Structure 1
Amino acid sequence: MVSTYAWLWTLLAFVLTWMVFYLIKKKKAETDEAEERRDGVADVIIVGAGVAGSALAYALAKDGRRVHVIERDLKEPQRFMGELMQAGGRLKLAQLGLEDCLKEIDAQQSNSLALYKDGKHGTLYYPKCSKYRQFLRLFPYEPNSRFLRNGRLVQGLRKKAASLTNVQLEEGTVKSLIEVKGVVKGVTYKNSAGEEITAFAPLTVVCDGCYSNLRRSAIDNKDEVLSHFVGYVVKNSRLEDPHSMHLTFSKPFPCAIYQITSDEVRVAAELPADSIPSMANGEMVNFLRKTLAPQIPEAGKLRETFLKGLDDGLLEVKIHPNKSMSAKPCDRRGVIVLGDAFNMRHPIIASGMMVALSDVLIIRNLLRSLPNIGNTKKVSELIKSFYIIRKPMAATVNTLAGIFSQVLIATTDEAKEGMRQGCFNYLCTGGFRTSGMMAILGGMNPRPLTLVLHLVAITLTSMGYVLSPFPSPRRFWHSLRTLAWALKMLGAHMVDEGFKEMLIPTNAAAYRRNYMATASD
């Protein structure tokens, strides 16, 4: 009996001791969180005030967070990437409460994609939600896009974020991340006066664009330059069809012409990564005038507008690298990487801003569940789910951009040229094929598996074109090579994005249910 009582008292003492230590540890953790929030100037530091950074700053500040945004240059950006806001991107802006930033910047409505190849023409329209209600699963927004001046949109987003009292928008150059015991605690930066300052916050978000100097400090990822775009603005011009993106299957690379404001037209021509004509000695103008201009169709004032920009002296000519970089999770605590610093794809389908805004919306919704983001462990656990939730939209856009950009390159290879022609034929056929691809392009139906099925159908169409008018042994061989090339391209993206994420529709259904359901939050 004495032995039994001794064991019971020992067990009781052990339980009580464990409870005391547990409560002390829990209290210490809560105290640390409270101290970090009380002592820190901000809850979140955001490096970069582009589309992603400004939108995130506004979204988090609306939820009561104190946000410190550090941007290298607060003047209006002069860049020609990011000049099309897809329908899905407009939905994300509305869900973040930022759609009014598209107003008063002279943005132009876009309803379609016009394709031109070898004298043939096809127009692809965004599907009407009422007509394809079941197909689009009640996409709740007007199915059209907006052409715009990227710098004007960025300035509007910055103004919207800075209008909130708990947002500090500051011009400065971030030099490095501050790391303590494996946890990022803030940044070191130089302000506009040249003073070096350290800023602390429980969470740092790096979204300083495609030329990010902090990316390597947070994730092990490298970008690849695929090609370049040379672009210029044609002043005092308006296309006969200003509501279409005009894409010419020119040789060797495509050329896009579109209306960015009521009286300005953008010309953007793709160039090889390893052979860019010189601007200084006039090679660029000669290439555009003598090689590319004859391939631009005369319909709709396209060639006339193209040449007008050359005659006016290329006042705003810019050359921009087309980069690609797969998204790799950031496993370091206290920091998140977003936007072009995190994930890039070929800009031919103009969906980068849509992916960035989708990522911002997901991050905002995940962080809403935490009353205090000072607990970096809990934040890190939430961010792990971010990399899964974002996949339907990101994987669909990344795969479409990667494959489409390769297919559009003209070549003497019969198999690849067959795919190029087959893609044009498939897109211009109309019906379910055209509407389905346009729904994917516009971010209205972000389902990787649906994209895979369309890509398979395009491949079969291309093989049929190669085999026509009758399947000779030579044509049969080239059709097999077309199939092999298509499988190689698709396989590479499946490996990069993940077979499960691409082929199992569970995540896509959850994404559409949670992030495509309403036009406002």
Structure 2
Amino acid sequence: MAGAVDSEAARNVERREKHHEADVVVVGAGVFGCAAAYALANQGRSVILLERWMHQPDRIVGELLQPGGVEALRKLGLEHCLEDIDAIPCYGYHCLLRGEEISFSYPPLASDGRVVLGAGRRKEVNGYANGDVKEPARPEGRSFHHGRFIMQLRKACMAHPNISVFETEVTATIKGEHSDAVLGVQTRTKDPATGKKTPDCFFGQLTIIADGYASVFRKELLGTTPIIRSKFYALELIDCPFPPANHGHVVIGEQSLALLYQIGTHETRALIDIPTNHPAATTQAGGARGYIESIVLPSLPAHVQPSVRAALADGKIPKSMPNSWLPSTKQTQHDGVILLGDAHNMRHPLTGGGMTVALNDAVLLASLLSPSQIPTLSHHAAVRGAMAAFHWRRKSLTGIINVLAQALYSLFAADGWQLRALQRGCFRYFQLGYTDEPVAMLGGVLRRPAVLASHFFTVAGLAIWLHTVDLCGGSVLGWLKLPLAMVQAVMILWTACVVFLPVMWTELW
């Protein structure tokens, strides 16, 4: 029996290496591509993984993995990829709003994985403080250099007996003569000796394309286009003190928004959001560097500013990435091929949810395409049914993360008085201690979309109350402003609806 298994494995290796044939062809060895390839290979599928460039990538996003992503890595058997890359534990968030600040941690999890809400506030009454009851473990995220993590994932794939990895540039899909079903992909492979690229082909019962945020196949297969409102410009700060340690830091200034988190023992990533066509970032105003120096730097804590100045001292324009929103699309239009990862669905990277979405998508995809469900992936009707289920089942997690990312970006990068009022309401809500469920959803460990809507509109109500008190308080005649307060309350509520409901509808339905 063992000999038959070994013989089958040898035949599969020969099919992949010599004939370029496999059960699955995965295009793109990024986070999702590697995770999906590894998950399917673990089920006994024969997998070909294609990557245009196998050198260590140098991206400025994809560096913060939420607890829900760490858990997905564990389910995939890839948790070891966080080792030996100087990954830093992340326990929660620290938010600064024009001089005020608050920090909050991921809530603890019970032994069965349920979120234990309000554990910190109940310490004195439930025995945690006295040591009578062991406090549930709190989940942890990880932050790291993106390229190091990717190379660990690729190393795991190259070591898997059911995966063959090829460095080649995918140029087009291959379709059958008598149907539109995709049979594989055309590529160009570089000869290391001569440098010349020669045509090549790879064939699979199913082709999974995960070619990233700048996908060349998105228009052909989905017909969608990302919406871009801003860019993140990146600095790498060396030995930058920023307490509390092991937290993601969100700094909101009068006209600026920055995200900072440690990615190594000595390195801290600073991502500065610059809205598209912002007047303070024009060439005449000094471009991105001018914006950072004149707008962002004064809003940062004094102990962070020297590290930022040192990072700007080289005189170069910081690396940038577009901040994109791309709602998900059903994957049932084309037989033989699916498009996933950032090519399929993106959200603003402010909340660091991208890799968590990708890894959970890989877990869900593998479960729906498992050999026990679909023995042969050339059964297109069965794959279509699985992808229809995939579209809806992923929303309990990805819908929350995507809506949170877009809504919080709108509030934190507020450019009008109504959004400023909502921004203040959100910050005050956190100050009052209502952080467990929001940060659990942010971390990918709480999957209840109705809870997200409840919190958002509670924030809107608090924002209206604070605004009304400010407008009508401080004077015995303040009640005369009540009609104006009512009008402005409606305007704030309307703005909240405009920010939240269209994104919620798009992401969840």
Indicate the TM-score class for this superposition, using the shorter chain for normalisation: 0.7 to 0.9
Q: For 1:261, what is the secondary structure of its paired residue? A: coil
Alpha-carbon distance in 1 for matches of 2:445, 2:301:
30
Alpha-carbon distance in 2 for matches of 1:141, 1:365:
27
Instruction: State which structure, 1 or 2, has the greater radius of gyration over its C-alpha atoms.
Output: 1
Q: Identify the residue that residue 180 of structure 2 maps to in structure 1.
A: 182
CA contact (8 A) 2:237 2:268 kept: yes
**Which residue, out of 270, 273, 293, partners 2:273?**
270
Deviation at 1:284, TM superposition (A): 3.0
TM-score by length of 2: 0.85
- Code of the residue aligned with 2:448 in structure 1: it is R
- The CA RMSD measured in Å over matched residues stands at 2.5
Alpha-carbon distance in 2 for matches of 1:434, 1:497:
23
**Which residue, out of 308, 311, 323, partners 1:309?**
311
Q: Identify the residue that residue 228 of structure 1 maps to in structure 2.
A: 231
CA contact (8 A) 1:259 1:266 kept: yes
Alpha-carbon distance in 2 for matches of 1:131, 1:426:
29
- Whether 2:267 is the aligned partner of 1:287: answer no
* Structure 1 unaligned spans of 5+: 1-35, 500-521
**Which residue, out of 45, 49, 52, partners 2:25?**
45
Q: For 2:253, what is the secondary structure of its paired residue? A: coil
TM-score by length of 1: 0.83
Q: Identify the residue that residue 322 of structure 1 maps to in structure 2.
A: 323
Alpha-carbon distance in 2 for matches of 1:222, 1:448:
25
Q: What are the equivalent positions in structure 2 for 1:37-76 lying under 5 Å apart?
A: 41-76=21-56
Deviation at 1:39, TM superposition (A): 8.3
- Whether 2:168 is the aligned partner of 1:172: answer yes
Alpha-carbon distance in 1 for matches of 2:113, 2:381:
42
Alpha-carbon distance in 2 for matches of 1:278, 1:154:
34
Q: Identify the residue that residue 457 of structure 1 maps to in structure 2.
A: 458
Alpha-carbon distance in 2 for matches of 1:444, 1:350:
14
Question: Judging changes above 3 Å, is the alpha-carbon distance between structure 1 residues 53 and 280 closer, same or farther for their aligned structure 2 residues?
Answer: farther
Q: For 1:426, what is the secondary structure of its paired residue? A: helix
The CA deviation string for residues 375-419 of structure 1, in whole angstroms up to 9 with x for no partner, is 2222222221111111101111111111111111233x3222111
Q: For 2:322, what is the secondary structure of its paired residue? A: strand
Alpha-carbon distance in 2 for matches of 1:282, 1:245:
28
The CA deviation string for residues 465-503 of structure 1, in whole angstroms up to 9 with x for no partner, is 11113362323222211100111222202331245xxxx
Alpha-carbon distance in 2 for matches of 1:192, 1:278:
40
Identity of aligned residues (%): 28
Deviation at 1:129, TM superposition (A): 2.1
- Whether 2:64 is the aligned partner of 1:90: answer no
CA contact (8 A) 2:107 2:138 kept: no
Question: Judging changes above 3 Å, is the alpha-carbon distance between structure 1 residues 132 and 374 closer, same or farther for their aligned structure 2 residues?
Answer: closer
The CA deviation string for residues 329-382 of structure 1, in whole angstroms up to 9 with x for no partner, is 122111111110000111111101111111110110111122222222222222
Alpha-carbon distance in 2 for matches of 1:439, 1:133:
12
Q: What are the equivalent positions in structure 2 for 1:68-467 lying under 5 Å apart?
A: 68-130=48-110, 135-136=115-116, 142-180=138-176, 181-193=179-191, 194-275=197-278, 277=281, 283-298=287-302, 301-311=303-313, 313=314, 317-330=318-331, 331-368=333-370, 369-411=373-415, 413-430=416-433, 433-467=434-468
* Structure 2 unaligned spans of 5+: 1-14, 120-135, 192-196, 473-478
Deviation at 1:40, TM superposition (A): 7.0
Deviation at 1:315, TM superposition (A): 6.8
Question: Judging changes above 3 Å, is the alpha-carbon distance between structure 1 residues 280 and 487 closer, same or farther for their aligned structure 2 residues?
Answer: closer
Q: Identify the residue that residue 4 of structure 1 maps to in structure 2.
A: none
Q: Identify the residue that residue 479 of structure 1 maps to in structure 2.
A: 489
Aligned residues: 457
Deviation at 1:241, TM superposition (A): 3.1
Alpha-carbon distance in 1 for matches of 2:363, 2:109:
23
Q: Identify the residue that residue 497 of structure 1 maps to in structure 2.
A: 507
CA contact (8 A) 1:55 1:157 kept: yes
Question: Judging changes above 3 Å, is the alpha-carbon distance between structure 1 residues 381 and 39 closer, same or farther for their aligned structure 2 residues?
Answer: farther
| Farther off after superposition, 246-255 or 302-311 | 302-311
Q: Identify the residue that residue 6 of structure 2 maps to in structure 1.
A: none
